[in-house]
Structure 1
Amino acid sequence: MSNTAAGSKSPPSSSSPFGFSNNLVELSALTALIGSSAAESMVLGNRGSGGVAWAATSSFGTISVLKSCCAAAASDWLRETLGIRTSLCDSAVGMCLPHNSARASKVRSNAGDPIALFCHQSADNAARNIKDGKSHNPQICWSDVYALDHPTSMMLRGIPVTPVGSPLEIHTYGNYPFFRVRNSLFQAITISLSVAKLAEVYALWSHGAALVGIISATPWLFFCIGAIFIEIREMIQGRRPEPPLGTVDIIAGQLPMVSRRGGGRKIVLGAAENARTGLAWRLFWLLGAAVSAVSILFSYITLGQQDPSVVLIWTGFQFLWLGVRILIYHITDPADPMARRMLVAQSWAYLPKELKERVFELACGLAQSQTFVHPRGRRQYIEDTFSSRQLGIILDGSDPATFYTLPSTPPSSVTLQLTAVLGDTLLSSVMWMTGSEITPMDLYDCCIVIFSPPKSISDLRRTIAIPAVRVLSGTSELPMDSEYSLGATFIPKGARNLGYGLTWWYWVPCGERLWIQIRRPTDQRILGPCEGEIRTDGQVSELLASGTLNIGLAAVEEVKATLELSRKAYSLLAELFS
């Protein structure tokens, strides 16, 4: 008789296809890998605290939660570098590159053109300015903005564009008590409903899979606790009026660059800081990413060891939470507690002094922003003035002059004490903000130099501010024809240079048809003591006509035309500070 009975069962072969349980594990794993824009938006806080609590209830879409948490927790430059930047993340935290970050500078060249500029002031400084009406030494941080977060975008959308050629118009919050818009009851109910996740834990525990239930509920528990703290914070903030002046100053529009003229502009002073860009939210997202990653890993390790009935129960609950999460997403409105706060326009003439200084901080930040993409290179502008405080001290203590005063018998050279330089990027920024149609390219060779005159000339030792002309001489990156390389070379404005072997040439008017010519290599400091040679119109024209400087100016008449633009810019600057 055969050892194998007719009704006996043979042992399963190791090469047999996957069983029902493993197929469900594969299905659930594949579904979890499918992105969920609803979960991504909710975990970023775009739907309020209630949305945060429901973001990770279903394991289907946990990868999206993990990705969004990583993107929001990372610095903006890192988000762009890693390629994890999304439109939903931009709507939550925006996309800004700080001026004081070396890493951000490397990303900026591929980020496109900025659409706005933020000037962040310390909260203590803003509060002191409101209290005593005086300006203090602020801690300033400028940032180029490449994507606006949703609240800021909606705020700017509600104010008109000031076109080019129109007078300067400033927007600030209306002077009335404002309380943050709250919907605490709805958010609290939404958070409370997410506790239904415990039903899944109980069902799995009753089938002997308590570990699966705990692992599945851990992300929900983390984000639910976080949502409770977020809602408590919103309730506390909503009980007290918002400060009349926030810490963020904004200028938005088509910002001026050397390669293009500026367009319409919007200026807002004292906007409220987006809380989601702060350290607390970033730490919350960072921990949330870690919890989500661990949960995904251990979920599929444990599910692969369970009976088919357990996997079926787990999968059913995930589909249930997925459907409820989508429903919650659609019935909640985007969270914007500052949406109803009114902005009012103010003219420059009636603007308080401390707010005028904040406008100049925006101008200085915009000037710095131009240097990042300037054909001359940012390194050539490191000694230019980019501080409104320093600018105010300079202009308040300077005597305006159209030329530098020389002795009755002009010497062949003069020793000067150069204390500051206001370059073309600062002048073009101020001109654009105040409505002038003069472009950055028009002001390319313009500057204002600040001298401390010798005691023999001025016993008061006041500084002298003089509009002047400066050019950067050196080898250009433009290809040259060898047949003309030995002749006169005139490189048009805006051409890039090789970055080394460069020299600044300054021409400061010092009398009728007389110039102080200052030559200083860029690897040496221009500020401080310097020697200037006295040159006539003819001598300056002879130097320019030789074509050895590799610049676009070919005659002294072009220097004089540029000087007139410098004088116009200085006249406007002095008028604003008066």
Structure 2
Amino acid sequence: MDKSTVSNSTEIAKIKGALSSFNFGGSLVEITALTSLIGSTAAESLALGEKGPAGLVWAMMTVFGAIPVVKLFIATSTPGWLRESMGVSNAKSDAVVGLFQNADKNFMFHDRKEPAIAVESEMKSARGSRMKEDSPISSQRRFVYVFNQHTISILNCIPSSFPGDEIKIYSFVEDPWRDKRYASWFSYVDWMLLAASVMGKLGEFTLLWKYDACTLAWVSLASWVFYFTAAVILRLHGLWGNTKKSEIDILTGTLPTCSSVGVDRKIILGIPKSARVHLIWRINWSIGAIIGVSTVVATYVSLIQSTSNEGFLIWAGFQVLWLSIRSAVYYFLSNREGHYHVGLEGRPWRKVNVQDRSRIRRLVYTLSKYQIQQHPRSPLSYEDDIVAPENLENIQSEYPASPEDKNVTLSIQGVIPDTVLSSVSWVFGCKEGGFDFYDTCIIVLKTSNGIISIPAARALSTRQLSGQPKHDSEEGIDLIHLPRGGSLPHGSSAFPDNSIEVKWCYWIPCSGGRWLHFITEQSKNRGQREAAILTNYEVTRILNNGKIMNISLKHVDEVKEIVDYSTIACGHMQALLR
């Protein structure tokens, strides 16, 4: 045996000895450090599908960069609310799948400091065919906290509108030549890369087996089989770019809340849904995380135990080869989702068709739902309201009553709340917002002459049943009149607070410059109600006599101002419902 052979054997023994010094029982810190040194950026991009399904296979052909990929697999396969609580959310995972919450569930990201940046509504094909060939049906509404990169690239092409600007609706127009130009080419590239991985991995397996690295050969092959199968499934399902069976409608900007004024806004309809948020991708990522960790551990255990010097060199050589090919694939292939022309058509509201107006209404009502869940009054206070009105009949500025009437029986069909009025006003460019609409509403009444709708005012009053003082002498606080936006002891439907009386107080303009005044339960306002007819003086007196607690209103002029804002919002509601 010559000196060079002895020297090589000695060096290999040193490397294997270093591997055997790892503390596998304590942690994977050493393995993580070793496998994170080289190629993690390319591996992460390919594993997350930026270059197509075949990239998933090449991302995991080598253990170099595997641990960062596993971390991303965990983040992208985890639901948004759980991702936040587990602390695995990061910019890379958010760029792929975004961060959102199902608007039809009452769970909120209570620990998240940043507000939502958009609301969106997903529209699916009724028969599972292409959206352009079928009538769309609504699927899911969401509050968006972080957009994925696919959506951001499209939204960046749209100018924002500001308060005072006319509303403009944009529709996504897909490049008609995209499929012809790219689909066949992408398919060819994917299948060639998959075929190359088959030949390469079989060659690696054969050589490792020949030189007595059998365990290492099987570990490497088993891992590859999973990722190869996953890539083939994704390719056969066409999950390599955007899905044509689902579209996203988005309302984004500085969203209004009960205490803040909305500013810039954008509305776009029909963005194709990114294929990478599909369930199949998420399943592959979740299983891939387990396979990835197991492969890294099993690989290094195999290297320590019984791998021959020749087997070790073959394994290391293939790792370098796969790393080189992976880097080439990453740098030379284009991003699948960004490889098309973004066509956008902008239209003013008057030119929007009936079907698209219905989709925009769904976005407005989703924004209202977001405001309700953020509201200090709690969702319980809005349970009986009309949160998604489909029509607004016979709008009147006041309730018709004879001069002799002192009381009247009202048949309340429903109440359109402040959250809806605030949302629609912002969408239509109203400069007012926030607290301006805090106590606004539209009341729908049934009269002998039919249904009428009247812009009105209402405030939520709370008081302790055991008796509540009108003034806190220690803090110097007037407990009858509290500013808008404060937290109220309102309880919840799941945990009602029986020591607190929570009531809605209503004021409806009435003929002769008078007011209808009545009170309802917190979560029930429909049905027959007895209303007193009051003068301006009587309204002011009631607001200050201590029977209505914890509201901001002190004078009838404030009630009139609220009704004015309700009237403004009513005009926007009419436009929305046309």
Q: TM-score, normalised by structure 1?
A: 0.85
Q: Does 1:416 align with 2:420?
A: no
| Structure 2 counterpart of 1:301 | 301
Q: How does 1:291-440 map to 2 (within 5 A)?
A: 291-307=291-307, 309=309, 310-336=311-337, 339-387=340-388, 391-392=389-390, 394-395=391-392, 398-407=393-402, 409-412=404-407, 414-440=408-434
Are 1:126 and 1:247, in contact at CA under 8 Å, matched by a contact in 2?
A: no
Q: Does 1:112 align with 2:114?
A: yes
Give, as a single letter, the amino acid of the residue that structure 1 aligns with 2:340.
A
Q: Does 1:491 align with 2:482?
A: yes
When residues 249 and 512 of structure 1 are mapped into structure 2, their CA distance, relative to the original with a 3 A threshold, is same
Q: Does 1:67 align with 2:76?
A: no
Q: Does 1:504 align with 2:485?
A: no
| Structure 1 counterpart of 2:287 | 287
For 1:374 and 1:261, locate their aligned partners in 2 and report how far apart those are by CA, in whole Å: 14
432-441 or 195-204, which moves further after superposition? Answer: 195-204
| Structure 2 counterpart of 1:3 | none
User: Deviation at 1:226?
Assistant: 2.3
326-335 or 52-61, which moves further after superposition? Answer: 326-335
| Structure 2 counterpart of 1:145 | 144
150-159 or 119-128, which moves further after superposition? Answer: 119-128
Give, as a single letter, the amino acid of the residue that structure 1 aligns with 2:124.
S
When residues 350 and 127 of structure 1 are mapped into structure 2, their CA distance, relative to the original with a 3 A threshold, is farther
For 1:333 and 1:486, locate their aligned partners in 2 and report how far apart those are by CA, in whole Å: 64
When residues 306 and 484 of structure 1 are mapped into structure 2, their CA distance, relative to the original with a 3 A threshold, is closer
Q: Does 1:42 align with 2:46?
A: yes
Are 2:175 and 2:343, in contact at CA under 8 Å, matched by a contact in 1?
A: no
User: Deviation at 1:571?
Assistant: 1.8
Are 2:178 and 2:340, in contact at CA under 8 Å, matched by a contact in 1?
A: no
Give, as a single letter, the amino acid of the residue that structure 1 aligns with 2:192.
I
| Structure 2 counterpart of 1:466 | 454
Are 2:35 and 2:64, in contact at CA under 8 Å, matched by a contact in 1?
A: yes
Pairs aligned (count):
536
Q: The residue matched to 1:339 in structure 2 has which SS?
A: coil
- Alpha-carbon displacement from aligned partner over 1:306-336 (angstroms, at most 9, x marks no partner): 2451344333432432333233222222221
| Structure 2 counterpart of 1:5 | none
| Structure 1 counterpart of 2:556 | 556
Q: Does 1:193 align with 2:193?
A: no
For 2:225 and 2:54, locate their aligned partners in 1 and report how far apart those are by CA, in whole Å: 13
| Structure 1 counterpart of 2:158 | 159
Q: TM-score, normalised by structure 2?
A: 0.85
When residues 468 and 29 of structure 1 are mapped into structure 2, their CA distance, relative to the original with a 3 A threshold, is closer
- Alpha-carbon displacement from aligned partner over 1:318-372 (angstroms, at most 9, x marks no partner): 2432333233222222221673140110111111111111111110001111122
- Alpha-carbon displacement from aligned partner over 1:462-510 (angstroms, at most 9, x marks no partner): 321110001111269xxx8534668664211111212343221111112
For 1:176 and 1:336, locate their aligned partners in 2 and report how far apart those are by CA, in whole Å: 13
Instruction: Structure 1 unaligned segments of length 5 or more: list them.
Output: 1-17
431-440 or 315-324, which moves further after superposition? Answer: 315-324
When residues 111 and 94 of structure 1 are mapped into structure 2, their CA distance, relative to the original with a 3 A threshold, is farther
When residues 474 and 91 of structure 1 are mapped into structure 2, their CA distance, relative to the original with a 3 A threshold, is same
For 1:516 and 1:140, locate their aligned partners in 2 and report how far apart those are by CA, in whole Å: 41
User: Deviation at 1:543?
Assistant: 1.5
When residues 219 and 101 of structure 1 are mapped into structure 2, their CA distance, relative to the original with a 3 A threshold, is farther
- Alpha-carbon displacement from aligned partner over 1:366-402 (angstroms, at most 9, x marks no partner): 1111122222222222222222xxx12x32xx21111
Are 2:124 and 2:131, in contact at CA under 8 Å, matched by a contact in 1?
A: no
Q: The residue matched to 1:534 in structure 2 has which SS?
A: strand
Are 2:53 and 2:239, in contact at CA under 8 Å, matched by a contact in 1?
A: no
For 2:327 and 2:385, locate their aligned partners in 1 and report how far apart those are by CA, in whole Å: 54
Give, as a single letter, the amino acid of the residue that structure 2 aligns with 1:422.
I
Give, as a single letter, the amino acid of the residue that structure 2 aligns with 1:482.
S
Q: The residue matched to 1:399 in structure 2 has which SS?
A: coil
Q: How does 1:216-255 map to 2 (within 5 A)?
A: 216-234=220-238, 247-255=247-255
For 1:156 and 1:291, locate their aligned partners in 2 and report how far apart those are by CA, in whole Å: 36
User: Deviation at 1:194?
Assistant: 2.7
When residues 569 and 211 of structure 1 are mapped into structure 2, their CA distance, relative to the original with a 3 A threshold, is same
User: Deviation at 1:273?
Assistant: 1.7
For 1:351 and 1:487, locate their aligned partners in 2 and report how far apart those are by CA, in whole Å: 50
| Structure 1 counterpart of 2:9 | none
Q: The residue matched to 1:48 in structure 2 has which SS?
A: coil
- Alpha-carbon displacement from aligned partner over 1:12-52 (angstroms, at most 9, x marks no partner): xxxxxx97524135476641366923322221112222321
User: What is the identity percentage for the equivalent residue pairs of Structure 1 and Structure 2?
Assistant: 28
User: Deviation at 1:260?
Assistant: 2.2
Q: The residue matched to 2:509 in structure 1 has which SS?
A: strand
Are 2:472 and 2:478, in contact at CA under 8 Å, matched by a contact in 1?
A: no
| Structure 2 counterpart of 1:9 | none
Give, as a single letter, the amino acid of the residue that structure 2 aligns with 1:315.
A
For 2:88 and 2:382, locate their aligned partners in 1 and report how far apart those are by CA, in whole Å: 33
Q: The residue matched to 1:141 in structure 2 has which SS?
A: strand
User: Deviation at 1:275?
Assistant: 2.0
- Alpha-carbon displacement from aligned partner over 1:58-108 (angstroms, at most 9, x marks no partner): 112222222222222221111111111121111111111111234x42x24
For 2:97 and 2:418, locate their aligned partners in 1 and report how far apart those are by CA, in whole Å: 33
